[in-house]
Structure formats: structure tokens, C-alpha cells
Amino acid sequence: MSDLLQLIISGLMVGSIYGLIGIGFTTIYNVTGIVNFAQGDLAMIGAILAITFYGLSLPLALAILLSVICVGVLAAIIERLAIRPLGNSVMRGIIVTIGVGSILQGVAISGWGTQAYSLPAFTSGGPIPVLGATILPQTFWILGTTVVLMVGLYLFFTRSYLGKAFRACAINSFAAQIIGIRLNNIRVLGFVLSGFFGAIAGIIVAPIALTQFDSGVAIGIKGFVACIIGGFGNPIGAALGGLILGIIEALSSGYLSSGFKNAIAFVMLIGFLVWKPTGILGELEK
């Protein structure tokens, strides 16, 4: 029983990160149709910047805030310099994001080297025993941040003017332009949001998982799988897909063999692509 609880907690924690990365995918995909394969690398850059700012003896909260803003700006620059000149070519856009990912990794290697870095946990204190399982305080931060961001994003999309404009562009960009929404601005917004979510995902997991130049690759792929499971383009679906993937991974490495873990994730990816390409929740309401 306590083992099951421990595995589920482990799954929820890892799954939250996949979910946040997945949401980053959707905010770009919805307005451009592009799958941003540099998403994981944005998370890595976010974590490394936060660690660097903290190393310059800034308070932890300020270091995190500064890093999230920097990655948002970086994402906007990527849109302006690498994506917008391509026009509406989705395929070329996707390939460019793979290149952008490699560039970000290269920048990380030349600036920070190949060794791993760690960020201190947000609150001190040892593991907390709960019903025979042990939970790190950072796990609560990860789960809490994920819930707050999900609710915030939901309110933004449904209640705010900007959020509604964003959804309008996702549903029909041509009609949205006719009624006077500037598509280019919304595209930049999509990238900035994606940068925010990526950076936050990278930062909150950094105290547990450590960060080095190639940390983004694996979580980027898992975030992509989370999107496919939940329904590509649907932020709630991405979050749900992430949690499902995280829990299945944890349970399979706990009860089956850990060697199966990645295999199960990718079998799910193929299964969904073949039999239910719209995912569990389907695309964003269109």
C-alpha cells in the first residue's frame, strides 16, 4: 500500500513536469500549427539561468522570476528571427525548431560546460512521511505550481480578452484577422507563453532532477507524448496526458521491469497515433 502511494507520488511529480512541457507545446501549436521541438531545451535554459542568477547571490524568488522572463523574451526572439520569416510553412517551421534546440544546447555547453548543476529546494526540510511513503517538500511545490498554472491558463483562455483573441486565432486565424486581431502579435504571445511554461517546468524540477546541457531532450520528448495522449493542442489534455504518462511510467518501473518504462511510453504514443490521433480530450474546441 505504502509502495503504491510512493509510486503514484513519484508518477504525479514526473507527470506534472511532462504536463507543463506539453502545455508549452500547445500554446505554439494552436496559433502556428508548429510542433516546437526546442520546448525541452527552453526548459533546460530556464533552469540553467535560474541557477546562474541564484549563483550571483540574487534571492531565489527573484532569480526564478528573472529567468522565466528571460526565457519568455528568448522565445519571442526565436519566433521573430527563426519562425516568422518562414511564413506559413509548418513543415519548415518544425524542422527549424529542431535546429533551434541544437543551438540552445550548444549555447549551454559553451556557456556552462557539460557538468550538471543543482538548484536548492524552494523550502528546506527533509522528506515528509505520509502513510508509509516519503514525500520531498519540493514535490508539493511541483504539484502546487502545476495546479495554479493550469487554473490560471484556463481562466486566461476563457475570461480574458487576450485569451479569447488567442483562441479565436487558434480556431480560425483568417476570420480572426478579418475582425482585426493582429495574428503576428498572437503568435508572439504563443511563443512567450510557451517560454514561460517551459522555463517554469525546468526550474521547479531542477532541485530534484539536476540540470545539464542535454536535460531538455528527454523531457521534451515525454512532453510531446503527453500532448499526443491528451489531445494535441488542448492544454488541459496535455496536462492530463502528462499525469497519465508519469503514473504509468512509475507503476511499470515499480511493478514490471524498469527497462519497460520508455517502451511503454512509446507504445502508448504509437497506439494513440494509430487508433485515436485526437487523443483523450481531442483538439481545442473548434
Binding mask 62-101 for another protein (x = CB under 8 A): ----------------------------------------
52 binds another protein (CB under 8 A): no
Residue 127 binding another protein, by CB under 8 A: yes
> Could you tell me which of 152, 143, 153 has the C-alpha nearest to residue 205?
143
Beta carbons within 10 angstroms of residue 168's beta carbon: 17
Q: How far apart are CA 96 and CA 38, in angstroms?
A: 9
Q: Which stretch binds another protein (CB under 8 A): 10-18, 31-39, 42-50, 72-80?
A: 10-18
Q: Looking at 89, 118, 184, 185, which residue binds another protein (CB under 8 A)?
A: 118
Establish if 7 lies at the interface with another protein (CB under 8 A): yes
Q: Do 219 and 43 touch, CB atoms closer than 8 A?
A: yes
Between CA 29 and CA 103 the distance in angstroms is 21
Residue 103 touches another protein, criterion: CB under 8 A = no
**Piece in contact with another protein (CB under 8 A), picked from 85-93, 171-179, 245-253, 278-286:** 245-253
* Residue 164 engages another protein in binding (rule: CB under 8 A): no
User: Which one of residues 69, 136, 183, 248 is an interface residue with another protein (CB under 8 A)?
Assistant: 136
Is 250 among the residues that bind another protein (CB under 8 A)? yes
Q: What nine digits make up the cell of 129?
A: 512521511
The verdict on 57 binding another protein (CB under 8 A) reads no
Phi, psi torsion values for 200, nearest 5 degrees: -65, -45
Q: 60-78 vs 183-209: helix axis angle to the nearest 10? A: 140
Among 209, 227, 228, 229, binds another protein (CB under 8 A): 209
> Rounded to an integer, what distance in angstroms lies between the CA atom of residue 213 and that of residue 45?
8
In contact, 60 and 244? CB cutoff 8 Å: no
Applying CB under 8 A, the span of 29-37, 93-101, 108-116, 176-184 interacting with another protein comes to 108-116
- 196: phi > 0 → left, psi -120 to 50 → alpha, else beta; which? alpha
- Looking at the DSSP assignment, which residues form a beta bridge with residue 211? 117
Least distance CB 256 / another protein (angstroms):
10
Tell me: does residue 124 bind another protein (CB under 8 A): no
Alpha-carbon distance of 190 to 195, in angstroms, equals: 9
Partner residues linked to 117 by β-bridges: 211
Residue 42 is a binding residue for another protein (CB under 8 A): no
Smallest gap from Cβ 181 to another protein, in A, equals: 39
Q: Note whether 138 and 8 are within 8 A (CB).
A: no
- Residues near another protein (CB under 8 A) are 3, 6-7, 10, 13-14, 17, 113-118, 120, 127, 134, 136, 205, 208-212, 214-215, 217-219, 250-251, 253-254, 257-259, 261-262
